[in-house]
Structure 1
Amino acid sequence: MSKTKPAPLPPDTLIGGYRIVRLLAAGGFGLVYLALDAQGREVAIKEYLPAALATRAPGELLPQVAPEKQALYRLGLRSFFEEGRALAQIAHPAVVGVLNFFRENDTVYMVMDYLQGASLQDFIVTARGRQRKKILREATIRSLFDEVLRGLRIVHQHKMLHLDIKPANIFITDDNRAVLIDFGAAREVLNTEGTFVRPMYTPGFAAPEMYRRTGGAGLGPWTDIYAIGACIYSCMQGYPPHDAPQRQEKDRLVTALARLRGLYSNELIDVVEWCMALDPLSRPQSVFALQRELAREAAAEPEPTPSGWWERLRARLGLAQAQAPDAASHQSQRSSFLEPP
């Protein structure tokens, strides 16, 4: 792994007709910038730049990749480009919009809608700090994941998997849309093909099959559905579940869910247990199957879904008109969130 993280592009850099404004976030797989298009509209640009494979000095445009890492770097680059191409074909309010994607500076850039709001993780962390028995109301959870599943179903219909669904990658916009962001298919290619790239899955949300380095074999819609179950669990518990290897040694999920009975309906708790089955064949095999079960339960659910539920939740949690968190605040909340009790 590179000892020095690649430096971001400086403000005012021009790439592909877009002007970089500032860095929004940095991760192990790439960098995300706020930028302006030719008409002055704000967009988000994601740059493929895996820190384990490439370096870049401050002020430089081109990444530096060691000869022995070139093949894997190119493999990830192609996968990232194809991911952008596939996402650009999806037009759904619950899936981040890809406006453009292009090659430049020996890498690939994905131009996306710039979203303003806060991640589901931000809501959970803030709600958890209020120290109430319920983290999020059941009606809120059901409404949220109804939206998310509608988007995920379209993704799967396009023969794609997200592979990194977690509260940090479910964004609640200021106009009250739940949007899936930061797809992880290209990361998974590097994870399964590489010999020196550390695993890029998120503990607690990654299904057991993602821990097997089998070149993607065994992954399917059920893999994303495991992560959906883990996200619902986090909305109820305030923390992520234990990771899959821990559960395979000693599974405490049923015990943890039992403590939530009485706070949330048995039906919703049973759905989480179903989604998070360690055996992929024991989970819902499609988003449609999960939607059908949640819809059946919702019909019998006495608690109504309020109109403007995200505005009310924002007001209660002090997140009104929150901006997307910067990289530093996002990282601090991420590390505290990813520690189950």
Structure 2
Amino acid sequence: MSKVKPAPLPPDTTIGGYRIIRKVAAGGFGLVYLALDSEGQQVAVKEYLPSSLATRAPGELLPQVQSEKLSLYRLGLKSFFEEGRSLAQISHPSVVSVLNFFRENETVYMVMNYLEGAALQDFIVTARDQKKSKVFRESTIRSLFDEILRGLRIVHQHKMLHLDIKPANIFITDDNRSVLIDFGAAREVLSKEGNFIRPMYTPGFAAPEMYRRDASMGPWTDIYAIGACIYACMQGYPPNEAPQRLEKDRITTSLARLRGVYSDNLIEVVEWCMSLDPLSRPQSVFALQKELSREGERRYTKLTVTEKVRMQFDSMVSETKKTVMGGATAPAAGKPK
């Protein structure tokens, strides 16, 4: 039986001077509401309420936390509060604006600008479903990530890491701004300290070091995720998750299929960002920006016939393996008709 998720705050609840209108999003880590401030302006209010540690009954304000989970709950709470404090000091069009943060109802709330638009993830799915050779034009990818990297550079200058960059956390506003949302520092603290069955990071976008408790993280960790996001914009799908890549890495082969569609430079940038060894990646956002802005070197190398045949063969072998494995497990999936 699946665990019951904490109930959202009821509409018209007032917290910290903000009136809740409705819940707009919920994740494993908390809830986001549309609310109105004292002047009637729309704001987004994010509530710390990790479903793995806390519950809340419908109509209630206070979360219920079991005594054995309390220390972990408070650890995440502290990290969430510190994240709000740090983000409130950052003012950049490509980073979500934190207007206020406060403690109430034995939890913490972060008040942000309410953004209208859609996540990059939605655009990728829509573009992919149109089945064109390019999911996004190269010029679109470069300008989009130029904006995001400007914001990320400021974040890193404030000694912060995002730690959960993915297409669902890059928001494209109705006035065509790209904004980084939903930072993951508190999530990272809990995933390192807690013994959770399900990881709190996003497979495909999380760097290999995020899977190890003893690994050091830095700007290169966010840069891996940026590379994975560009990959998703090119392919229409996320890359294989890091543990799979450590066993058998297919990134180079997958990107080679895009030769002639995207420039050699862009393909090389993605490979560089997604190096499994953190030291082999760009060590700063500035180094990546410099490389991504080299538009004058856009060579397009087309695949030779031999390479195309070899890739087709590899693809057929891979599909055959999937079919054989799928066939082996099929009887357990359900009753035959």
TM-score with structure 1 setting the length? 0.86
Structure 2 residue 86 is the aligned partner of structure 1 residue 86: yes
Q: Using the TM superposition, give the Cα deviation of residue 2 of structure 1 relative to its aligned residue in structure 2, in angstroms.
A: 8.3
Cα deviation 1:184-214 (Å, max 9, x = unaligned): 0110000001124632100000000000123
8 Å contact 1:205–1:231 — kept in the other structure?
Answer: yes
SS of equivalent to 1:248: helix
Structure 2 residue 62 is the aligned partner of structure 1 residue 51: no
Query: Can you give the 5+ residue segments of structure 2 that lack an aligned partner in the other structure?
Result: 301-337
**CA gap 1:108/1:2 in 2 versus in 1, 3 angstroms:** farther
RMSD of the alignment, in Å?
A: 1.4
> Which residue of 242, 245, 262 maps to 1:244?
242
What are the residue-to-residue correspondences of 1:170-319 with 2, within 5 Å? 170-196=170-196, 198-214=198-214, 217-295=215-293, 297-301=294-298
8 Å contact 1:2–1:51 — kept in the other structure?
Answer: no
Query: Can you give the 5+ residue segments of structure 1 that lack an aligned partner in the other structure?
Result: 304-341
8 Å contact 2:265–2:297 — kept in the other structure?
Answer: no
2:152 corresponding residue in structure 1: 152
Q: Using the TM superposition, give the Cα deviation of residue 3 of structure 1 relative to its aligned residue in structure 2, in angstroms.
A: 1.9
1:26 corresponding residue in structure 2: 26
Q: Using the TM superposition, give the Cα deviation of residue 89 of structure 1 relative to its aligned residue in structure 2, in angstroms.
A: 0.2
Q: Given residue 267 of structure 1, which amino acid in structure 2 is its aligned partner?
A: N
8 Å contact 1:152–1:287 — kept in the other structure?
Answer: yes
Tell me, in whole angstroms, the C-alpha distance in 1 between the residues paired with 2:153 and 2:86. Answer: 14
8 Å contact 1:23–1:31 — kept in the other structure?
Answer: yes
Bigger Rg over Cα: 2
**CA gap 1:2/1:83 in 2 versus in 1, 3 angstroms:** farther
Q: Using the TM superposition, give the Cα deviation of residue 118 of structure 1 relative to its aligned residue in structure 2, in angstroms.
A: 0.8
What are the residue-to-residue correspondences of 1:28-177 with 2, within 5 Å? 28-177=28-177
What are the residue-to-residue correspondences of 1:2-21 with 2, within 5 Å? 3-21=3-21
SS of equivalent to 2:203: coil
8 Å contact 1:90–1:97 — kept in the other structure?
Answer: yes
Q: Using the TM superposition, give the Cα deviation of residue 298 of structure 1 relative to its aligned residue in structure 2, in angstroms.
A: 1.8
1:321 corresponding residue in structure 2: none
Tell me, in whole angstroms, the C-alpha distance in 2 between the residues paired with 1:205 and 1:152. Answer: 16
Tell me, in whole angstroms, the C-alpha distance in 1 between the residues paired with 2:200 and 2:156. Answer: 21
2:320 corresponding residue in structure 1: none
Cα deviation 1:84-111 (Å, max 9, x = unaligned): 0000000000000000000000000000
Among all aligned residue pairs of Structure 1 and Structure 2, give the percentage whose two residues are the same amino acid: 79
Tell me, in whole angstroms, the C-alpha distance in 2 between the residues paired with 1:2 and 1:75. Answer: 25
1:333 corresponding residue in structure 2: none
Tell me, in whole angstroms, the C-alpha distance in 1 between the residues paired with 2:193 and 2:99. Answer: 29
The count of aligned residue pairs is 300
Tell me, in whole angstroms, the C-alpha distance in 1 between the residues paired with 2:278 and 2:195. Answer: 26
Moved over 6 A (4+): none
Q: Given residue 255 of structure 2, which amino acid in structure 1 is its aligned partner?
A: L
8 Å contact 2:265–2:299 — kept in the other structure?
Answer: no
8 Å contact 1:166–1:228 — kept in the other structure?
Answer: yes
8 Å contact 2:263–2:299 — kept in the other structure?
Answer: no
Q: Using the TM superposition, give the Cα deviation of residue 301 of structure 1 relative to its aligned residue in structure 2, in angstroms.
A: 4.6
